[in-house]
Structure 1
Amino acid sequence: MNDHYIEKSGKKLRYGFTTGSCAAAASKAALIMLITGSDIHTACISTPGGINFNAEIIDIHREEDYVSCAVVKDGGDDPDVTTGSKVCVRLKLTDTKGIFIDGGDGVGRVTKPGLDQPIGNAAINSVPRKMIKENLENILIEYGIEDKGVSVIISVPNGEVLAEKTFNPKLGIVGGISILGTTGIVEPMSDRAVIDTIRVETKVRKAQGSDILMVAPGNYGLSFLSEVYKIDPADVVLCSNFVYDAVNIAVDEGFSRLLFAGHIGKLVKVAGGIKNTHSMYGDHRMEILSDICKKLLDAQTYESIKADLMECVMTGEAVRIINTTGKGDIIFDNMAQSIKDHMQKWSGDTLEVEVIVFAGENEELVATSHAHEWIKEET
């Protein structure tokens, strides 16, 4: 009944539904049950993404003035730590008109500025709040009691433990998971979800007053900045493969300076103008390094390393080969400058960018001219 699919890389993948959709469906069911006195075991809502969600209602429990129930989160074929979790609601009618929404056990609280909700609020984002509010208001109108209000508390059993596997601790959301979703649906292996996370983290850094946005592709870059330069990991935005998107988000959120740090295996692709460093968009690492070497080495030296360089599988071996020419510093300086130039160009020259590239295990290979100065500003 809820099976909707998307074709990706030749595979048929099933959509899921967000925690926000689960909360809205459970809230709708609870209100109907409270008004009618009869149990219902399914509730259908329309998602902002245009797909109906037919939710199974479980764990129905009644008290004198409350009804509580739950919906199990199904993320479809998207890997999601909240899949299988219960999104529970406890709902009652009030004499004060309006919809009051708050979080209970397992739903996080906002402690830092720059997020969707203000400090102190439950981490129930604006679209889920709107979905819940609209569904409940429609039910009140349907049953002719629109002069009443509704109080609904959302909880997620084990949510505090689940949150440790999410970005919430880094974002300053404590005590549980967030109730999320902009479309109400979960697209399998969604690029959009990653980009949205980059934007949220960037907003938080800006709201905290940061002048320099520090960005790393992944955990290797994060560890490098933490272990070598003692940068707090919470101060670094992870952009995964989405370098171009991270640059544009930085501009959108008002940053004028960006420090980009990562392993040569990822960053060398950016030197070649590659905007997304995922292997599905091509590798080209050795071709890019070879082109730089050809430009900066004399013909004889270049020819002496060309074949070995192009046969390399790992960039660590490529670094070793390039360094045998005695011109490694010049070549890697040029590579870092190319990374910087491309990122500044992608920003429409509204960002100043500095770059640090490492190889091996936390072995700094090259840094652009002001990178170390910026690091000092941030420590």
Structure 2
Amino acid sequence: MWSKKVGSEERVVDPVTGYAYPDEWVARCEDAAALTLAASGLGVLTADGRVLRRGFTTGTTAAAAAKAAVLSLGRPVDGVAVTLPCGLRVAVPARGEGGRGEARKDSGDYPSDVTAGLLFVATAEPAPAGVEVVAGEGIGRFVRDTPRYRAGDAAVSQTAMASIERAADEARKEVGRAGVRVVLAIPEGAAVAQKTLNPRVGVEGGVSVLGSTGLVEPWDDHLSEAAFERIRGAERVVLTTGRTGLRYSRLLFPSHEAVLVGVNLGRALDEVRGKAVICGLPGLVLKFIDPDVLRGTGCATVEDLTATPAWPGVLERAFARCREDHPGVRVVVVDRAGTVLGDSG
């Protein structure tokens, strides 16, 4: 099935974002299999009728390796099913034998992902009860305290860890074990991390294990054009930079068309030609308003800055600058729990 009823019409809907694709986009796609992929959430339909494949995050890849490792305590494994943080249940290629599981990161049609193809390895052993997940070689660790992590903590987001633990627990129950201990490793993680932002944000020794939806978006020129077409056709629009921002944008502004534009905020505002709302986490939003927002603060990231006494003044100055540079644009900054940190009005 490609479609679901939206109002009185049958439409192709992206189950990840809830966006109902315009009929003309669907008509331009002549590949039935590609439309099925888009309807499943594992693909994204673009304005020109192409379907770009979503990939899997480091969190999803780690969950697949962990599940394969635990399942292989009972039998050899050549693939696993994982429930993503966005709610989709997907099949992920993975291998497991004798308590060792492996999965390689599939980045879909995202051409700039430096972690594409990276091998994740998990080893599992019986434990007295429950599930214990240990971050091992190649997974980065924080070298300083941040608002969410302490120095020495593994760079594994809460969402990713929950996904890994759920996958391992499903496998534990399937093989009839009271408990399991899983050690995750990314053998080439330390080398690949040098190509990421981790060294600049205080994470050393490996890559981060992340993923708010479990999927990697295939951002390229075609997908950007699709977003801009949505913006041009919207009566009221809220622009956001990431999946967390998209979620809270929909909750805070239910009557607006919420569009994820990533780093393309500048062009998105050019397309609006009038009033708009920018809503999202403070990082990209404030760096867009003021690229030098961290200068002289002693902070490596905007998230670090939010925990300092200087934050209220920095935020108000950023709002004032945005009012001057972009009249008619309202900025709402939220944290990862959805709390509004500031509203330019």
> Structure 1: how far apart are the matches of 2:202 and 2:82?
31
The answer to whether the aligner puts 1:17 opposite 2:56 as a matched pair is: yes
How do 1:49-198 and structure 2 match up within 5 A?
49-58=86-95, 60=96, 62=98, 67-78=99-110, 79-95=112-128, 97-114=129-146, 116-146=148-178, 149-189=179-219, 191-192=241-242
* Alpha-carbon displacement from aligned partner over 1:167-226 (angstroms, at most 9, x marks no partner): 222221111111111221222229416969984859xxxxxxxxxxx95439x945x986
Distance change >3 Å, CA 179–CA 135, structure 1 → 2: same
In structure 1, C-alpha distance between the alignment counterparts of 2:298 and 2:150, rounded to whole Å: 23
Judged with a 3 Å threshold, the aligned counterparts in structure 2 of structure 1 residues 12 and 20 are, in CA distance, closer, same or farther, namely same
In our comparison, the structure showing a higher alpha carbon Rg is: 1
TM-superposed deviation, 1:118: 3.6
Q: Which amino acid aligns with 2:159?
A: V
The answer as to whether partners of 2:77 and 2:97 remain within 8 angstroms in 1 is: no
Alignment of 1:1-379 (within 5 A): 3=37, 4-10=42-48, 11-34=50-73, 36=74, 38-58=75-95, 60=96, 62=98, 67-78=99-110, 79-95=112-128, 97-114=129-146, 116-146=148-178, 149-189=179-219, 191-192=241-242, 199=281, 215-217=286-288, 221-222=291-292, 231=296, 235=300, 237=302, 255-258=311-314, 271-273=325-327, 275=329, 346-348=343-345
TM-score by length of 1: 0.52
Kindly tell me the number of residue pairs found equivalent between the two proteins: 239
How far is 1:21 from its partner? 0.9
Matched residue of 1:217: which SS? helix
Query: Structure 2: which amino acid aligns with 1:49?
Result: C
Q: Flag the 1:268–1:118 CA change in 2: closer, same or farther, 3 A.
A: closer
SS of 1:29's equivalent in the other structure is helix
Partner secondary structure for residue 72 of structure 2: helix
Secondary structure of the residue aligned to 2:86 is: coil
**One-letter amino acid of the counterpart of residue 31, structure 1:** V
SS at match of 1:258: helix
CA shift in 2, pair 1:232/1:82, >3 Å: farther
Comparing both structures, which one devotes a greater share of its residues to helix? 1
8 Å Cα contact 2:72-2:100 kept in structure 1: no
Provide the C-alpha distance between the structure 1 equivalents of 2:140 and 2:203, rounded to a whole number of angstroms: 6
Identify if the C-alpha distance between structure 1 residues 194 and 273 changes in structure 2 by more than 3 Å, giving closer, same or farther.
farther
Task: Specify whether residues 275 and 173 from structure 1 end up closer, same or farther in structure 2 by C-alpha distance, changes over 3 A only.
Answer: farther
| Contact persistence 2:155–2:207 (CA under 8 A) | yes
Counterpart Cα distance in 2 of 1:236 and 1:124 = 17
Q: How big is the shift at 1:90?
A: 1.6
Matched-pair contact (CA < 8 Å) for 1:105–1:157:
yes
Q: Alpha carbons of 1:270 and 1:155: their partners in 2 closer, same or farther (altered >3 Å)?
A: farther
Within 2, Cα distance between the matches of 1:114 and 1:50?
29
The runs of 5 or more residues in structure 1 that have no matched partner are 203-213, 239-248, 277-344, 349-379
Please give the alpha-carbon distance, in whole angstroms, between the structure 1 residues aligned to 2:142 and 2:90.
28
Q: Distance in 2 between matches of 1:24 and 1:129?
A: 8
Distance apart, 1:61 and its partner CA: 5.7
- Stretches of structure 2 lacking an aligned partner (at least 5 in a row): 1-32, 224-240, 247-261, 263-279, 331-341
CA displacement 1:34-53 (0-9 Å, x = unmatched): 1x1x3111111121223232
Could you say what secondary structure the match of 1:180 adopts? coil
Summarize deviations over 1:313-347 as a string: whole Å, max 9, x none. Answer: xxxxxxxxxxxxxxxxxxxxxxxxxxxxxxxx952
